[in-house]
Structure 1
């Protein structure tokens, strides 16, 4: 394992946090990393999700980039697979538009006054 590489315990925490994203909601790689106790590890999160087995029941499709977009190249089989799953959950349109502001998880809390 490379220096400062997250541990197996961190990977387990990531997968547990991923499993908690509700259907119909979207989370960014960076926010998922932060929620799992791994701030600044968005790319590592992406790497871990890319290694999930094809038959995984974890909701990997609910994780998108910080701009609220699918990270796969448009029209690629992976993009289509993710988009189809998000459409089925109500967080995307067939045009590819994601409902990022409405479906973001966890919701951003208003600043206290």
Structure 2
């Protein structure tokens, strides 16, 4: 095995979800196929597939400025489920020892939970 190629996310309304992931999150839209009702986005080299038949997945997205990203989401009336907060201080297991790992959680247009992490 060589790594993750694609992840799928549930959407009841493909157009609404496409607008959310493209316009609110700023992901690059790769393609939409109708039928069968699939939309693809680029997640830093991993494809994100949006489709009605997919189960809901929790996506953890990288953020360079968590507070600014949460403010931008709020400006788009996105529901923030968890405010930015400290998760842990890295002991070196995941990167730089001493780096504070922060997270915030929100809901997409389809009610799926997503998280932003620094």
Q: Is the pair's TM-score, using the shorter chain for normalization, greater than 0.5?
A: no
**1 or 2, which has the higher helix percentage?**
1
* TM-score normalised by the chain length of structure 1: 0.29
* TM-score normalised by the chain length of structure 2: 0.28
Question: Which structure has the larger Rg over C-alpha atoms?
Answer: 2
**1 or 2, which has the higher strand percentage?**
2
